[in-house]
Amino acid sequence: MTTLQPSAPPADLPAGSVLSVRGLRKDFTLHTIDGRVVEALHGVDLDVAPGEHVALAGTSGAGKSTLLRCVYRTYLAGGGHIWFRTAAGDLVDVAALPDATVADLRGHEIGYVSQFLKAQPRRSVLTTVASAGTARGMARDAAREAAAAALRQVGIAEHLWDMHATVLSGGQKQRVNIAAGTIAPPRLLLLDEPVSALDPANRSAVLDLIARLERTGTAVLSVFHDLDAIERLATRVVVLGGGRVLASGPPEQILRDSSLPLEVAR
Amino acid sequence: MSTATVAPPAWALKVEGLGRIYGDPSPESVPGTGPESGTVISPATGAVVAAWDVGFEVAPGEALGIIGESGSGKSTVMRCIAGDEDATTGTINLRGVGDGTVDVRTLDPSARRGLRLHQLSAVYQDPAAGLNLDVTAGGNIADPLTAVGWRHYGRIRERAASLLRRVEVPLDRMDDLVRTFSGGMRQRVQIAKALANDPPVLLLDEPTTGLDASVAAGVLDLLRELLEETGVAAVVVSHDFAVIDLLTRRVLVMQHGRVVESGLTDQLLEDPQHPYSQQLVAAARG
Amino acid sequence: MNDQLTARLAGPPPQPGIFDELSKREIRRAMLSGIAIPGYQVPFGSREMPVARGWGSGGLQATLSLVGEDSRLKVIDQGEDAGVNASNLRRLVVSHVGCEEETDTRHADIIQSRHRIPEQPLRDGQVLVLQVPGAEPLAGIVRDMDEQRRMHAEADYAKMWVRLYEDVVHNGLITAAAGYPVLVEGRYIMTPSPIPRWDVPKLDRSEAITVLSAGREKRIFAVPPHTSVVPLTFEDRPFEVEHTPGAACRLCGSADTYIVQEPAADGRFTTWVCSDTDFCRRRRTGDAPAPAQPVQGETA
């Protein structure tokens, strides 16, 4: 069993950051394949402030999704710290918190939106989105209103709202998913290719929705498979390569730096 | 003697150091058993160490999974909590009993059985273990109700009907013997019976194993809704990662009577650490 | 030495007959235990009696343990003092003990019965001995006797209530007739002897002691005076006793007693008589209290 040792946060963390990753390491030991070790992250440092949208860039296999999943604790960090500042102002190390505490944080303060909707069975589209709001403390009526607005925004036609979310198409599910994930924005939102399956029009609507999060003070850490989305949304780009941070800076500077290994998809 | 009031714990169920040995219960039986030894049979005494050093907490509204193959000890743990059998060692506390200060293993057998009325319910893989098949669906639900003092026929029927409606058993089957029900329908009646007195803790032992896939999916959907609505603290024992994934937030992996890994359910599925967990996940992924 | 001690403990040499003093003493101890724990079934060593088990051997042993030479004994079968079984049992005890035969309920010290409790309310000092063919109320519900004992010990009677619930579901009412299950002093569920529902309320807060004895099952239980005996039923399904609107005893005219059908001259079951022959006789001679209130319901 993995023992997680709590330790005190270092004094030099940026005062305003919601997320401060320090020395994050991750590798995978594949016991079913003769104990082969696959290395993923080799000591990543990263900060995200409220209202900031940090996009991760880099080639496939650079560790972008791995980093997101470590922050969400879907992957267990192999070393280093993931400092998260809670709404109550406490700095906690997500890499070392008990499972139950992480589960509570996920419910209230850290959101994760992937391209896959894990919808409750037999629950209508509107309820799926609204209950994401009530789960984060919105009043029932306000949540339904916000859900309706979010669904309109991402182009889910009203006649679909009463249907079970599980019967929707892949693209529709993805949009419901992003609507649910953003209706009551958490302090930290992790976006893992949330627009990958969308046609241009819907993609644009969803990107607009994400762009608005900036105003709510939500800190966003994202992975997009196209540089266009990054350019449009990110306030800062962090380039990963070989499990390390290669560069960090404003998108207009980073995305034009031809020396950096970026996924080419424009 | 301290009489200071202590706030009730955050957990609804806490298990510590739970062990169950069939045969010689002395400490000599434990060495040489467990995952490293690859067996639950003590080389020294021949005793079966079915479960050892199992511990966890479950909060209200939370569902904890226990996964492992048959013989891993997961059902033994559940039966020890349910009181179907007595553990060899360890403590079991319920928040509803003395604000969590009482190890329910120290209660006399009668009081221990009484816990099944108000404090915890169990749903078994085999509906015949939790139901009387020769009694109607309503009568099976009347059992826990009358046990806690319901004496009004009309109100018993109202309550039974509302529970059956909740688990989606057609009300025109309420007065039919459970023996005439399909497997999935029997399981729904068993769930309704388990929820009759709104227990704070619910134990589910392979609740959908043995049902056809489509029937199992319906029962799982129902369970997931119920777990979310009722705020019950649930322990879900299953060999099936699909069940654990759908119903639980955290999970323990058991092998040869020991917990080899514990974690958030998605983490266990995406990034299992222990070789046995990886093997289980790989097998589940086909 | 031991033989002498045993003989001393046994008291005076046993009268020639069917029951020794040690056995009587054991049964009296069992009765006292039963009285101390109302409704609880006390095991006892049932002896061979000159009647077949199931024919009142339990009641006979209880009666033999209680009667003295100056006791007045009434024995009834289906309410009748003159029935064949009643007469034989009464004669057996009288010839064995030398006590007095009695048919008037008011004057009897001990009343042995199986199917009825006399209409005349029992008084302080009387003992009603009921012959019980099936002592265990849970017998038809769970088979395992250890489990039956556990259920009694923990007052875990949900399965009995489920039985009653199922009865109402299938039949619209609780069909239990003879030996209707009762709760004694809020604790033990008990089956009386096969008395009709009509007689069940007479057990409640009775002035007399009721001793119930099952010879075949070797169990004795009791209801002491002033003890609550409540028939099991749902709050919204009141307990009802047998009643045939318009029917009355053709001999004494009573409609407030337990009456039974008898074959009329033409062979059809259309006429009714009191089951309690002693009370019926007294009604006819004006020696019994009149009906408490006018007979309700119109003649059919």
Nearest to B151 among C156, C159, C234 (CB): C234
Mean pLDDT, rounded, for B220-226:
90
**Chain B residues bordering chain A (beta-carbon distance below 8 Å):** 57, 59, 62, 220-221, 224-225, 228, 249-250, 259-264, 266-267, 270-271, 273-275, 278-279, 282
Taking an 8 Å cut-off on Cβ atoms, the answer to whether C165 and B110 are in contact is no
**CA-based nearest residue to A41, from A220, A191, A247, A240:** A240
Taking an 8 Å cut-off on Cβ atoms, the answer to whether B224 and A2 are in contact is no
For every residue of C199-266, DSSP letters joined together read GHHHHTT-SSEEEEEETTTTEEEEE-TT--EEE---TTS-------TT---TTT--SSS-EEEEE-TT
Most A CBs within 10 A among B57, B219, B264, B265, hence the mutation to make, goes to: B264
Would you state the pLDDT for residue C85?
86
Where residue C295 falls among pLDDT bands split at 50, 70, 90?
very low
- Chain C partners (3+ C-beta pairs within 8 A): B
- Give me the amino acid identity at B116: R
Would you state the pLDDT for residue C16?
58
Give me the percent of chain B exceeding a pLDDT of 70: 98
Taking an 8 Å cut-off on Cβ atoms, the answer to whether B273 and A102 are in contact is no
Q: Which of B260-264, C11-15, C18-22, C66-70 has the highest mean pLDDT?
A: B260-264
Would you state the pLDDT for residue C204?
97
- Is A225 part of a structural domain of the chain? yes
Q: Where in the sequence is the domain holding C107, given as residue range(s)?
A: 2-138+167-231
Mean pLDDT, rounded, for A81-87:
95
Where residue C1 falls among pLDDT bands split at 50, 70, 90?
low
Give me the percent of chain C exceeding a pLDDT of 70: 92
Torsion angle in degrees (nearest 10) through CA of B216, B219, B225, B229: -140
Q: Using an 8 Å Cβ cutoff, are A5 and A79 in contact?
A: no
Would you state the pLDDT for residue A266?
42
Q: Is the pLDDT of residue A185 over 90?
A: no
* List of chain A residues whose C-beta atoms are within 8 Å of the C-beta of residue B265: none
Indicate whether C39 and C87 sit together in one domain.
Answer: yes
Taking an 8 Å cut-off on Cβ atoms, the answer to whether C165 and B146 are in contact is yes
- Is A180 part of a structural domain of the chain? no
Q: Do C and A share at least 3 CB pairs under 8 Å?
A: no
Taking an 8 Å cut-off on Cβ atoms, the answer to whether B153 and C162 are in contact is no
Mean pLDDT, rounded, for C182-203:
94
Number of structural domains (chain C) is: 2
Would you state the pLDDT for residue C12?
64
Indicate whether C177 and C55 sit together in one domain.
Answer: yes
Mean pLDDT, rounded, for A171-175:
88
Indicate whether C260 and C199 sit together in one domain.
Answer: no
Where residue A263 falls among pLDDT bands split at 50, 70, 90?
low
Indicate whether C182 and C282 sit together in one domain.
Answer: no
Q: Is the pLDDT of residue A4 over 80?
A: no
Indicate whether C208 and C254 sit together in one domain.
Answer: no
Which residues does B127 contact at the CB level (< 8 Å), separation at least 6?
B133, B178, B183, B186, B187, B189, B190
Q: In what order do the strands lie in the sheet with A91-93?
A: A36-48, A19-30, A79-85, A91-93
Would you state the pLDDT for residue A2?
45
Query: ipTM more than 0.85?
Result: yes
Question: What CATH number does residue C46 fall under?
Answer: 3.40.50.11310
Q: How far is CA C269 from CA C195, C264, C265, in A?
A: 21, 6, 9
- The first and second tokens of residue C178, run together, are 């003879």
Catalytically active residues of C, by annotation: 39, 249, 252, 274, 280
Number of B to C CB contacts under 8 A, please give it: 51
| Whole-angstrom Cα Rg for chain C | 20
* List of chain B residues whose C-beta atoms are within 8 Å of the C-beta of residue A2: 261, 263, 273
Domain B13-119+200-285: CATH class, spelled out: alpha beta
Nearest to B270 among A2, A74, A122 (CB): A74
* List of chain A residues whose C-beta atoms are within 8 Å of the C-beta of residue B262: 1, 99
d(CA B269, CA B279): 11
Out of A243-252, B110-119, C42-51, which region has the weakest mean confidence (pLDDT)? C42-51
Q: Which of B47-61, B204-218, C89-103, C169-183 has the highest mean pLDDT?
A: B47-61
Would you state the pLDDT for residue C38?
97
- Is C237 part of a structural domain of the chain? no
* List of chain C residues whose C-beta atoms are within 8 Å of the C-beta of residue B175: 169-170
d(CA A215, CA C219): 83
Taking an 8 Å cut-off on Cβ atoms, the answer to whether B153 and C235 are in contact is yes
Would you state the pLDDT for residue C15?
57
Indicate whether C274 and C254 sit together in one domain.
Answer: yes
B103 DSSP 8-state letter = B
Would you state the pLDDT for residue C58?
87
Which residues does A157 contact at the CB level (< 8 Å), separation at least 6?
none
pLDDT (tens digit per residue) in B60-109: 999 999 999 988 999 999 999 999 999 999 999 999 999 999 999 999 98
Number of structural domains (chain A) is: 1
Out of A24-28, C88-92, C118-122, C159-163, which region has the weakest mean confidence (pLDDT)? C88-92
Q: Do B and C share at least 3 CB pairs under 8 Å?
A: yes
Out of A166-170, B10-14, C179-183, which region has the weakest mean confidence (pLDDT)? A166-170
Mean pLDDT, rounded, for B199-225:
92
Would you state the pLDDT for residue A198?
85
Q: Is the pLDDT of residue B213 over 90?
A: no
Mean pLDDT, rounded, for A78-91:
94
Would you state the pLDDT for residue B1?
45
* List of chain B residues whose C-beta atoms are within 8 Å of the C-beta of residue A1: 259-262, 274
- Is A179 part of a structural domain of the chain? no
Q: Is the pLDDT of residue A1 over 50?
A: no
Q: With an 8 Å Cβ cutoff, is B158 touching chain C?
A: no
Would you state the pLDDT for residue B132?
96
Q: Taking all residues of chain C, what is their mean pLDDT, rounded to a whole number?
A: 88
- Chain B partners (3+ C-beta pairs within 8 A): A, C
Where residue C300 falls among pLDDT bands split at 50, 70, 90?
very low
Q: Is the pLDDT of residue C47 over 80?
A: no
Number of A to B CB contacts under 8 A, please give it: 58
C79 DSSP 8-state letter = T
Q: Do B and A share at least 3 CB pairs under 8 Å?
A: yes
Q: Phi, psi (5° rounding) for residue B153?
A: -55, -45
- Burial status of residue A177 (CB atoms within 10 A of its CB: 0-12, 13-18, 19 or more): buried
Question: What CATH number does residue A73 fall under?
Answer: 3.40.50.300
Q: Taking all residues of chain B, what is their mean pLDDT, rounded to a whole number?
A: 94
Q: Using an 8 Å Cβ cutoff, are C46 and C65 in contact?
A: no
Look at phi and psi of residue B47 and say left if phi exceeds 0, alpha if psi is from -120 to 50, else beta.
Answer: beta
Q: List the domain boundaries for chain B.
A: 13-119+200-285, 128-198
- The first and second tokens of residue C185, run together, are 């002093």
Taking an 8 Å cut-off on Cβ atoms, the answer to whether B221 and A121 are in contact is yes
Indicate whether C93 and C180 sit together in one domain.
Answer: yes
More confident residue, B122 or B211: B122
Q: Is the pLDDT of residue C293 over 80?
A: no
Q: Is the pLDDT of residue C53 over 80?
A: no
Nearest to A100 among B59, B224, B270 (CB): B59
pLDDT (tens digit per residue) in C248-274: 999 999 999 999 988 777 777 678 999
Would you state the pLDDT for residue A232?
92
Q: With an 8 Å Cβ cutoff, is B149 touching chain C?
A: no
Q: Using an 8 Å Cβ cutoff, are C22 and C10 in contact?
A: yes
Mean pLDDT, rounded, for C187-195:
93
Would you state the pLDDT for residue A218?
93
pLDDT (tens digit per residue) in B47-62: 999 999 999 999 999 9
Mean pLDDT, rounded, for B172-201:
96
Chain B residue nearest residue A102, CA to CA = B264
- Give me the amino acid identity at C106: R
Q: Which of A34-43, B142-151, C67-76 has the highest mean pLDDT?
A: B142-151
- Is C44 part of a structural domain of the chain? yes
Would you state the pLDDT for residue A261?
80
More confident residue, C271 or C208: C208
- Is A133 part of a structural domain of the chain? no
Q: Where in the sequence is the domain holding A224, given as residue range(s)?
A: 15-109+188-194+219-266
* List of chain C residues whose C-beta atoms are within 8 Å of the C-beta of residue B115: none
Would you state the pLDDT for residue C33?
97
Task: Say what the pTM is.
Answer: 0.88
Mean pLDDT, rounded, for A62-81:
95
Domain final residue pick, C186, C211, C231: C231
Taking an 8 Å cut-off on Cβ atoms, the answer to whether C235 and B151 are in contact is yes
Q: Is the pLDDT of residue C36 over 90?
A: yes
Q: Is the pLDDT of residue A5 over 90?
A: no
Measured from the Cβ of residue B224, the count of other Cβ atoms closer than 10 Å reads 18
- Is C295 part of a structural domain of the chain? no
Q: Is the pLDDT of residue C30 over 90?
A: yes
Which residues does B33 contact at the CB level (< 8 Å), separation at least 6?
B39, B40, B41, B42, B49, B52, B256, B257
- Burial status of residue C295 (CB atoms within 10 A of its CB: 0-12, 13-18, 19 or more): middle
Taking an 8 Å cut-off on Cβ atoms, the answer to whether B273 and A76 are in contact is yes
Which residues does B137 contact at the CB level (< 8 Å), separation at least 6?
B160, B164, B169, B173, B174, B175, B176, B178, B181, B189, B192
Where residue A3 falls among pLDDT bands split at 50, 70, 90?
very low
pLDDT (tens digit per residue) in A226-257: 888 999 999 999 999 989 999 999 999 988 88
